[in-house]
Amino acid sequence: MSSMLKAPPSNNFRPKLNFLCGGSRTRRQCNISFGSRVNVAFSKLRTSVPLVLCMSTPTTIQHQVTPMSKHNDVSIMVNGCTGKMGNAVINAADSAGLHIVPVSFGSTEEAGQTVEVCGKQILVHGPSDKESVLASVFDEHPNMIVVDYTVPAAVNDNAELYSKVGVPFVMGTTGGDRDILYKTAENSKVYAVISPQMGKQVVAFLAAMEIMAEQFPGAFSGYSLQVLESHQAGKLDTSGTAKAVISCFRKLGVSFDMDQIQMIRDPKQQIEMVGVPEEHLPGHAFHMYHLTSPDQTVSFEFQHNVCGRSIYAEGTVDAVLFLSKKVQSKADKRIYNMIDVRLLSHQGQFRRSVKLNCYAFFFDECADHENSTCIVTEKEDVALSREIPKKMP
């Protein structure tokens, strides 16, 4: 584990690799266009040597996106606005042009307080009158999405409240009984995004781990695992992200109990042992996973370190906008996670992701393939085919 600690920020940067591999082979012409399908056209290519297009990452095509300032038809109520995460979400939502509902839920001690965020006065209500207040606010703002960044102990009660009133919600608070949380939302038929991780880039990493676990079950069978996570002292529960990653490692054949996670909450240890910058002690999320082979000759390390809260706040706003669209379209599916938000919100809208990974195109040297076209169709499993010229010499 020692090799995982105090990794300086500069270690996170690596020189960019050239992912378009084809050796020193001369290319005469290669045109790639993207639409409802992908066409890779090779003109006047005569060779008996396989031409390989190797790309380790998806090709992403950006299209015009509606400016975020036009989302003022969506209202957002942030519960836990007195906390740093709730405060960050309100700032991000305001920047995105969402309408901030000037009401929030907090503890008994916070009840009656007025909190100013982004120049807006937000009245905090305590637990005693939550149901009547929420029902009244929802009547006034029928397009409202509730965001929950409260405390782990309130997760299940709050979810039950949102479900009873019928208000769509984004559960950003970790902890609580997650099985009961999902059942509560499912039984009520309410729309919800429930995720232990709201950071878009970290979610992409989690998705990659899920894919690896599904495609290569048992690949790390026999390996030992060490997990360390460091968060600000105010985070009371174990990292939900770490638990999600560990679930993937279990599918990969690793035996590991959640109580083996090493939680670091002491600021001195965070600076000296983990390498957290002192200015980010109040808000950070460092995760380190170390795998070792049974004979100690092979090791793998995974890290994702976050300083600050903006990555989570921006992801939460994405989840709100995504959920609002699902409510408006009356989607059949009701419960989503952040992987759904990343994949479905971009599908057919402003991202075309095409996996071109080591596909080889073989051409007979005696044939004229001037009009040959490679077609990659967008299906669940990307299919590859080639249109052969009707007239062969």
As annotated, the active-site residues are 231, 235
Asked if 224 contacts 291 with a C-beta cutoff of 8 angstroms, the reply is yes
Check if the beta carbon of residue 274 is closer than 8 Å to that of residue 230.
yes
What is the C-alpha separation between 268 and 276, in angstroms, rounded?
10
| Other CB atoms within 10 A of residue 82 CB | 19
Contact (CB, 8 A) for 283 and 308: yes
Nearest partner of 130 among 316, 150, 116, judged by Cα: 150
Would you state the structure tokens that stand for residue 139, as one six-digit string?
């009547």
Say how far apart CA 70 and CA 374 lie, in whole Å. Answer: 40
Directed axis angle between helix 310-329 and helix 84-95, to 10°? 60
Three-state secondary-structure class, residue 46: coil
For residue 211, what are the contacts with CB-CB under 8 A and spacing of at least 6?
Answer: none
97's tokens: 């042009």
Cα 227 to Cα 143: distance, rounded to the nearest angstrom: 41
In degrees rounded to 5, what are phi and psi of residue 300? -130, 140
From the list 177, 180, 139, 184, the residue with the least C-alpha distance to 162 is 184
Q: Is 287 exposed, middle or buried (0-12, 13-18, 19+ CB in 10 A)?
A: buried
- Do 163 and 185 meet the contact criterion of CB atoms below 8 Å apart? yes
Which residue's structure tokens are 């992801």?
Answer: 315
